[in-house]
A and B are shown apart, each in its own frame.
Chain A
Amino acid sequence: MNCEETLALLDAYFDNELDLTKTLAIEEHLRNCASCRSQYELRVALRHRLKDPDLRYSTPHDFADQIRKKLAVSFHPTRKILSFRSAVWIPAAIAAAAIFGAFFYANIQRLLPAGPASMVSEVASDHIRSLIGTHLVDVESSDQHTVKPWFAGKLDFSPPVHDFADQGFKLVGGRLDYVKGKNVAVLIYRFKNHYVSLFMCRERNPDTDSRQKTFGYQGYNLVYWNANGLDCWVVSDAAPGALLEFVKTQQAEHS
């Protein structure tokens, strides 16, 4: 390597940006050329002087707080951007809710007292798990005459099964589940882009309050009611209004 080539690559060598071959070639040249070596030493001296921490400007002490405040204020305008991107956020939120739900399912039994509250979390968690897993349905059919017989012999009751496709709730299938130590029948309906799970089991305690109630759990809506000795729970991420509509449709059919 001659002087011209060396000087062209000297800074890259000095900054450790060269490959091994060129590095070795430059080192070889520097050993033998005092003029190029002085250029190299000039850089070493310069770097040494620039190392001085006093050359750096330190941040004014209140500055980080000032920026933090500005960011907090700028937070409203950005909401527009975020909601514009909600197409991206919503699946992420669902996944987060699902993970949260699964976590709750694993822990909630110990944390919550028995009763409606724990039933809410169990039912909601079960619904969420069915959506993230592959176990949405055991019997896939929109035909109530296929789904209803499928439950026969698996439960100590015969769940009413109806397709409400005309009202917007299309029967997808049925599944057998185990909630709070009891076998339950689950019917899955599709409403627009939402799945609706209807849980039915034998009334556990006739003395408990059996009036219709609505609950919210991790972004999911739940409705409980009791009909003909069956505890019914419906859960979905569909709007509460749609869910109540579904409940009414069910109740009209059952009564």
Chain B
Amino acid sequence: MVLLSMMDQDQRTRFENQMLPLMPEAYNLARWFMKNESDARDAVQDAYLKAFRYFESFHGDSGRAWLLRIVRNVCYDALRAKESERNVISLDEEAAAEVPDSTPGPNILAIQNSTKLRIREALETLPLEFRTVIILREFDGFSYKEISDIAGVPVGTVMSRLSRARQQLAVLLQKQGENE
């Protein structure tokens, strides 16, 4: 029993050493998905607990891709649950429930700068599938193969989503520019 609990301990240490350093990427992804800090924290925490539970089954070389796939899945589930919740409440309530995120974004002072604000808005406007591939590719530098693993879609789909996401982003940014 002592031996077993030593193994538990050892397992947890291994997990922490390998997975906790990946938290900035995990949190950033969740934060972009969930659009507010509180939901992002919940999602990342869920993802870590889930990852710990299945850590035994992780044998791949990219712990990053493995963890982010879990984060992505937890976020999708949470968003789906939110979506169905929203469908049962009335439209008025929905408007009320849509309280804008009061927590400041990354470095609020820097974002006073309007170009930065614009690109953030544009990114948040993108459909979730498109936002996913942009973040994984542009922020985290994952390869198509890795993105395909994380997002659970074929490599060809990763490519076409990236292409459409970039075009949409360009259009959104252009529109913003015209509105000013």
Contacts and interface: CB of A to CB of B under 8 A. Distances in A.
Interface stretch (A65-73, A107-115, A192-200, A204-212): A65-73
Interface size class of A (residues with CB under 8 A): 35 or more
Nearest to B31: A57
Interface in A44-65: 46-47, 49-52, 54-60, 63-64
Given A67-B23, A71-B15, A82-B4, A57 B105 contact: yes
Chain B contact residues: helix, strand, loop or mixed: helix
Chain A contact residues: helix, strand, loop or mixed: helix
5 contacts: A46-B166, A50-B138, A52-B119, A59-B23, A93-B3
A42 B168 CA distance: 11
A166 to B, nearest CB: 33
Nearest to B54: A81
A49 B170 CA distance: 11
Contact of B144 (A12, A55, A83): A12
Contacts of A55: 106, 116, 119-120, 123, 139
Nearest to B115: A49
A31 interface: no
B138 to A, nearest CB: 4
A77 to B, nearest CB: 8
A78 B8 contact: yes
B119 A74 contact: no
A17 B144 contact: yes
Contacts of B9: 75
Nearest to A85: B56
Contact of B111 (A54, A70, A219): A54
Interface stretch (B44-52, B58-66, B76-84, B91-99): B44-52
